[in-house]
Structure 1
Amino acid sequence: MPEVMLVEDDDDLRQATAETLELAGFRTHVFDAAAPALAALSPDFPGVILSDLRMPGLSGLDFLDRVRKIAPEVPFVLITAHGDVPAAIRAMRGGAHDFLEKPCQPELMLDVLKRAQAMRDLHLENLRLRQTGIEARMDDRLIGRSPVMCELRQRLRALAGVQVDLLIAGETGTGKELAARLLHDLSPRGAAPFVAINCGALNEAEVDRGLFGAGDGPGLIARAEGGTLYLDELESMPDGLQVRLLRVLEQREITPLGAAPRPVDLRILGSVKRPPDTLAAQGRLRADLFHRFNATLPLPPLREREDDAALLVAHFAAEAAARHDLPKPHVDSALRRRIALHDWPGNVREARNLAERLVIGLDTSLPTQGAPAEAPGQGYDAAMEGFESRLLQSALIETGGRKAEAAALLGIPRKRLYLRLRHLGLG
């Protein structure tokens, strides 16, 4: 059923217009002012807005400006008096779908609204198809057959469509940003920006311009308008910044340098590496900020995901082989056993690195669960060679096996890198 949000301050005209719309089959939501209509509007409203231009409080043009920020894809049709046509033309340039002059023939009004509704239906169908495609590829992005991963995918699907702020909790390498991106992509905000901020890289001296913006341009928060703001490593944000962020969560408002406060429409997702209640008790995460998030989504570490480690290594190895144009490696029984016994402190990221080493022919040793990384009583020279071996392997992984780039990354001559690789049995 087509829907209309009707905003008209004239009682008689509002009632007559609502009756015409309902007789034509429109489900009609009636408001006598723009403010209550804005409070009822959400980005996934499936219908059309029909609003008068001249109203007390917020005018039709002010209302249009707010709607474009909250629900930019909802068609907006303006009703104007004859003398207000120039204002209506400005509204069209500002994003209005169409305008109607008073007095308006019911047939013309219904025709305009039906065309606007058809456009809205097409947009929603395209969005549905896009989300269906993302859901179909979720298994390729969030890999795992264990029960905890199947449950996680179900929770992501359910939470994506709910416009609430969430805190994602998980160890390093468990895929917190991937989960945030899936929540964004599957939500009604999926076509709008996804802006990720590393809170550990923020400092109070730069935060005003970087986060909140200034006269020379918008900050990162404003760039997420209509979409999702993702705050990674929230516990590493200084306490003073946590206080200012709390205001954004509570009031959805920012104050750029040298400017008046302005509203922002966005969903906020945060992530922490440890349970948020523990961080709050330690004073690393403000309790009032933690409790402002509607819910916490925990991500399971790889050691709790049964046989997913072997599946991940095989998947990442196939990706790395294709990327480096190398044959897909064979995982022998000894390596499979080590994969099964390893406790994966680096989680999925560690599995990806192991697969990369496997493809480009580097050391694939893994300590078994509970085993020390170095043998007891190991001498200084052996320990230093072990450290150097891991350092060189890490540089080669980061540069995709390209030794010249690895040497530059390490700040050593290429010849020295080749000699050390040969000495350590790595090249």
Structure 2
Amino acid sequence: MKRTVLVVDDEANMQAVMRMVLEGAGHEVLVADSGEAALAHIQNPNLDVVLSDLKMPGMGGEAFVIRCRKDRPDVPVIIVTAHGTIRSAVKSIHDGAADYLTKPFEPEQLEIVVHNAIKLRDILRENEQLKAAVSESRGTKRLVGESHVAQQLIEEIRRVAPYKTGVLITGESGTGKELVARTIHDLSPRHERPWVAINCSAIPRDLMESELFGYVKGAFTGASQNRAGRLEQAQGGTLFLDEIGDLDASLQAKLLRVLQEREFSPVGSNQVRTVDVRFIAATNRDLKEYVREGKFREDLLYRLDVYSIVAPPLRTRREDIPLLAQTFLRELASETDKKVTAFTPAALEILERYGWPGNIRELRNTVERSLLSCRGQTIDVEDLPGAIAAGSGPAGNVERFSLNKTGEKNLDHWLEEVERGAILEALSQCNGVQAHAAKRLGISERSLWHRIKKLNIQIIARHEFR
């Protein structure tokens, strides 16, 4: 198989000798008379090996090796040097050169070092392909779904993952925006570098700046030592900014500077630090509306929204619900050591009919609660939370709630269970905060309290209702 070799040497005679030997061995040869001229060739996707003289005017061999290792770490570089500069050649090995060849040399010696470098190139290429395959497998296995909507999402992730491009992920709460962001990182060339996430709505405003940029000793009371911020922790990798719409206005301006200049200063320091980070942001807010209302900087939105991905709500991919539910059940059963292996068809039918306002997060919580309630090896209808069955549609409700003991329809009982289900769902979505649940239901907090008492809904602990 013909291989492509780049010869970099400022002496025309040496160029000619190496070209003759290498073309005679069946290789394609490119030539350059300086390190600067060679830079035009190193991005050639067919390039297999570089032979570079050590002493050249302008960019010398040592600097050229360092540049090659940075731009094309998959291409071996062989340093060609005279006897008097072997020490420099050895230094180049430490800088990343694969081998060196001393002048004068026999044609066979040149062929051997190039042959060995080609073998190294093949190993490096196979290693990269293997790592890419493992990384892709790891990333795509995290995203579960066979629906057209899910496959479109995976395709968008694969399209943008290889680049440094900033990504803005939008979608309703619970749709898995962080999982989308993490999958982009896992499939990117940065997958072996840090993944760092920060929730812009979960950290108090007065702490957010130091959390993001870090601080130096003495920057404020209690700053007894230097501390690296999330930006510095993510160096070389990916920084995920969750709930970016909740970022304070003053920090929006500072983040914009980082995105534009790729530099920042820790709190309490005048020292400017450069940063190489890929930014991925997520929000369930309408940032364009926020811009119109003056709550979000338009220039920052443009910087973040280079490529947009919408995490689809679960109701648009109902055919994925059985697969997602079974995946969650397998994971959770393993964690709890419960021997529950599947859902009954009736239980799956109810899960598919339900509206899932809390999306994938709500589905996972439902599977977990059902698993804990289940006494057998299969989750059935009675193991599902009441709110899910109550909101799953007429067929499920009639079967479970509309018949009294004599088999006759009982409208009052059915309505009571629907009301119970709606209240349980609202409480679950609002983390047990009754004021928020009442607002979601469109009733007063006092009215909700009376209904909870009437329906004998027991609030056992935070996040647990029955």
TM-score (norm 2): 0.66
Residue 401 of structure 2 is matched in structure 1 by none
1:379 aligns with 2:449: yes
CA distance in 2, matches of 1:223, 1:67: 27
Amino acid paired to 2:260: R
1:242 aligns with 2:266: no
Amino acid paired to 2:126: E
Question: Which moved further from structure 2: 302-311 or 158-167?
Answer: 158-167
CA distance in 1, matches of 2:149, 2:131: 26
Residues 306, 234 of structure 1: CA spacing in aligned structure 2 closer, same or farther, 3 A cutoff?
same
Give unmatched runs, 5+ long, in structure 2.
217-224, 374-382, 394-421, 427-437
Amino acid paired to 1:271: A
Residues 30, 149 of structure 1: CA spacing in aligned structure 2 closer, same or farther, 3 A cutoff?
farther
Residue 91 of structure 1 is matched in structure 2 by 92
- 1:316 CA displacement: 0.5
Asked whether the 8 Å contact 1:167–1:296 carries over to 2, the reply is yes
Q: Deviations over 1:109-166 (max 9, x none)?
A: 3322332222222222233234334545666421112111122223333433456443
| 1:333-412 matched pairs, under 5 angstroms | 335-361=347-373, 364-366=385-387, 368=391, 373=426, 377-380=447-450, 382=452, 388-389=459-460, 391-393=462-464
1:65 aligns with 2:78: no
| 1:22-61 matched pairs, under 5 angstroms | 22-28=23-29, 30-34=31-35, 47-61=48-62
Amino acid paired to 1:391: R
Residues 206, 364 of structure 1: CA spacing in aligned structure 2 closer, same or farther, 3 A cutoff?
closer
Question: Which moved further from structure 2: 347-356 or 371-380?
Answer: 371-380
CA distance in 2, matches of 1:203, 1:9: 55
- 1:188 CA displacement: 4.4
CA distance in 2, matches of 1:28, 1:217: 51
CA distance in 1, matches of 2:229, 2:68: 21
Residue 195 of structure 1 is matched in structure 2 by 195
Asked whether the 8 Å contact 2:195–2:234 carries over to 1, the reply is yes
Give unmatched runs, 5+ long, in structure 1.
394-423
Residue 405 of structure 1 is matched in structure 2 by none
Amino acid paired to 1:178: L
CA distance in 2, matches of 1:19, 1:230: 53
- 1:319 CA displacement: 1.7
Residue 144 of structure 1 is matched in structure 2 by 145
Residue 415 of structure 1 is matched in structure 2 by none
CA distance in 2, matches of 1:25, 1:282: 67
Amino acid paired to 1:197: A
CA distance in 2, matches of 1:39, 1:169: 40
Residues 227, 138 of structure 1: CA spacing in aligned structure 2 closer, same or farther, 3 A cutoff?
closer
Which structure has the greater CA radius of gyration?
A: 2
Asked whether the 8 Å contact 1:235–1:272 carries over to 2, the reply is yes
Question: Secondary structure, in 3 states, of the residue corresponding to 1:203?
Answer: helix
Amino acid paired to 1:242: L
| 1:272-287 matched pairs, under 5 angstroms | 272-274=283-285, 277-278=288-289, 280-281=291-292, 286-287=297-298
Question: Which moved further from structure 2: 236-245 or 382-391?
Answer: 382-391
CA distance in 1, matches of 2:44, 2:450: 63
CA distance in 1, matches of 2:81, 2:302: 46
Asked whether the 8 Å contact 2:257–2:263 carries over to 1, the reply is no
Asked whether the 8 Å contact 1:338–1:366 carries over to 2, the reply is no
Residue 204 of structure 1 is matched in structure 2 by 209
Asked whether the 8 Å contact 2:171–2:313 carries over to 1, the reply is yes
Asked whether the 8 Å contact 1:169–1:276 carries over to 2, the reply is no
User: Quick one: higher RCO (CA 8 Å, sep 6+), 1 or 2?
Assistant: 1
Asked whether the 8 Å contact 1:210–1:220 carries over to 2, the reply is no
Residues 199, 359 of structure 1: CA spacing in aligned structure 2 closer, same or farther, 3 A cutoff?
closer
CA distance in 1, matches of 2:275, 2:15: 29
Q: Deviations over 1:306-340 (max 9, x none)?
A: 22223312221122112211121664566545423
Question: Secondary structure, in 3 states, of the residue corresponding to 1:119?
Answer: helix
Residues 159, 205 of structure 1: CA spacing in aligned structure 2 closer, same or farther, 3 A cutoff?
closer
Residues 205, 158 of structure 1: CA spacing in aligned structure 2 closer, same or farther, 3 A cutoff?
closer
Residues 159, 379 of structure 1: CA spacing in aligned structure 2 closer, same or farther, 3 A cutoff?
closer
Amino acid paired to 2:257: R
Q: Deviations over 1:279-299 (max 9, x none)?
A: 555555544444446422222
- 1:387 CA displacement: 8.5
